[in-house]
Amino acid sequence: MSHSLNRRRFLSAAGGASLAFAQQSTRPPNIIVLFADDMGYGDMACYGHPTLRTPNFDRMAAEGMRMTSFYAAAPVCTPSRVGLLTGRYPVRAGQPNNFGPDSTNGLNVYEILLPQFLKQRGYKTMMIGKWHLGHAQPEYMPTSRGFDNYLGLLYSNDMIPPWVQTKKPLHLYRNTEPVELMEDQSTLTERYTDEAVKFLRASASQPFFLYLPYAMPHLPISASKLKGHSRAGLYGDVIETIDWSVGQILDTVKQLGIDNNTLIVFTTDNGPWHDLPPRMLAKGVEPWHTGSKGLLRGAKGTTWEGGQRVPCLVRWPGVIPPRQVSMDMASTLDLLPTLVKAAGGAVPTDRIYDGSDLMPHWQGKAPSPRKQFFYFLGRQLQGLREGAWKCSLRPGAGPMLFDLDVDPSELYNRYEQNKEIGDRMLARMKDFAKELDADFAKA
């Protein structure tokens, strides 16, 4: 169960919620999804970082819900975005691995993306930031997948020499055309923010969807506006710049008088990139340019908690009561069905969705509907969480069972003492891998 408002405080907020939903009957909520890249679970003050200053993240947490058991759909970039925008496990959607600059394919056009659902509901849609779902053909580009307009990078900011061997230069794109060679990335967050504010000001009179997947703190990191500002070094400068960006968006929404009809979600695509491959330690990139290790074991590229448990903040004044902290399980897979329903739509019945509507939970009215979460690395199913228990099976290792309520750092394997639970979860994993035609890790 989540730790939310006490009953009396919730009832006092219910009147405002009723008014907001009455307004929604004539106009659905504006929706803003902010998505960081490789940002660690503990990389905000409100998630426990000792030196990072994040007043705007902290404001979102104070004015809405902070989730402590929230999971990205995958521990790496492309499939994580697939899960977010389709509401389906990346293996089910047919794209469990990353695209590169020289990739010739893209996310299957059969998949219906969140902006396509929202356009059907009359939303104006804009994407600013990292795409990473295919770019070689026009049908794979953001403007063919539900976005009216696009500004950003088509893939990760390290996909150039010396970090990745390719002859393709890294360009900033507007819609379908390259408009600038990205030789200096230090002002990207500021530029994305300026574009976002322009979009908000131009769109306040109609329902809109803004998707802003930041380029950073994916390596190589750089900063401009707040360079040298953070006690947490260059990485701290980057995070505090993203926090500044969130503040600009919150302030703009308030100035436009649309605060009470705007739902904002902030989360990240996976955990921090620790244990860097040697190719990344070039051109000034240092091992400490990644997020905090903190409480969780593992990192990006793994199915340990540190790879997929990520921060998530949600805010909608008058609808989502303030100062809630939820320990309940939820995932980026749940965002599409939640946001589509909030917009007055429904997902089709011709395919299986792996998420559920979180809104009653966000409102403090019900537990999270998510009862299970499956951990995939590429096509390989390596773990399952049910309640507090997480069962893991990795190549070359025996079964592992962790009680995440007691042991979120996954230090103590309790499989031998709880074999009945572990074996039942292993059987469920095997069945699910078969259902998705995925690989099943063998000890």
Neighbour-count burial for 273-290, b at 16+ CB within 10 Å, e otherwise:
bbebeeebeeeebeeebb
E strand intervals along 176-316: 177-181, 208-213, 262-268, 309-315
DSSP SS3 for 231? coil
Residue 289 known to be catalytic:
no
pLDDT value at residue 443: 67
Residue 77 known to be catalytic:
yes
Question: 46, 49, 132, 135: which is the annotated catalytic residue?
Answer: 132
Q: What's the CA gap between 304 and 282, in Å, rounded?
A: 27
pLDDT band at 296 (very low <50, low <70, confident <90, very high): very high
What DSSP letter does each residue of 191-218 carry, written as one string?
A: HHHHHHHHHHHHHTTS-EEEEEE---SS
Q: For the chain, what is the mean pLDDT?
A: 93
pLDDT value at residue 12: 40
> In this structure, what DSSP letter does residue 287 have?
G
Mean pLDDT of 301-305: 97
Q: Which tens digits make up the pLDDT trace of 276-292?
A: 999 999 999 999 999 98
Say yes or no to pLDDT of 94 above 70.
Answer: yes
What are the angstrom distances between the C-alpha of 224 and each of 37, 216, 237, 241? 18, 13, 9, 9
Q: Which tens digits make up the pLDDT trace of 364-383?
A: 999 999 999 999 999 999 99
pLDDT value at residue 431: 97
Question: 77, 135, 218, 361: which is the annotated catalytic residue?
Answer: 77
Say yes or no to pLDDT of 358 above 90.
Answer: yes
Mean pLDDT of 243-249: 98
Question: Do residues 248 and 184 make contact, with C-beta atoms less than 8 angstroms apart?
Answer: no
Say yes or no to pLDDT of 212 above 60.
Answer: yes
Q: Going from the N-terminus, what domains does the chain have, and what CATH number goes with each?
A: 7-370 (3.40.720.10), 379-440 (3.30.1120.10)
pLDDT value at residue 5: 39
Within a 10 A sphere around the Cβ of 8, how many other Cβ atoms? 7
pLDDT value at residue 306: 97
* CB contact set of 135 (below 8 Å; sequence gap of 6+): 99, 103, 106, 141, 154, 155
Alpha-helical segments (H) within 4-132? 7-24, 55-63, 77-86, 90-93, 114-120
pLDDT band at 397 (very low <50, low <70, confident <90, very high): confident
pLDDT value at residue 409: 97
Say yes or no to pLDDT of 13 above 50.
Answer: no
Q: How many CA atoms lie within 13 A of 90 on its CB side?
A: 31
pLDDT value at residue 293: 82
End-to-end CA distance of the chain: give it in Å, rounded.
33
Say yes or no to pLDDT of 100 above 90.
Answer: yes
Alpha-helical segments (H) within 64-129? 77-86, 90-93, 114-120
Virtual torsion, Cα 299, 301, 304, 309, nearest 10 deg: 70
Say yes or no to pLDDT of 15 above 90.
Answer: no
DSSP SS3 for 250? helix
Q: Which tens digits make up the pLDDT trace of 19-73?
A: 333 344 478 999 999 999 999 999 999 999 999 999 999 999 999 999 999 999 9
Mean pLDDT of 266-281: 96
The model's pTM is 0.93
Say yes or no to pLDDT of 312 above 50.
Answer: yes
pLDDT band at 225 (very low <50, low <70, confident <90, very high): confident
Q: Which range, of 191-195, 225-229, 367-371, averages the lowest pLDDT?
A: 225-229
Mean pLDDT of 224-245: 96
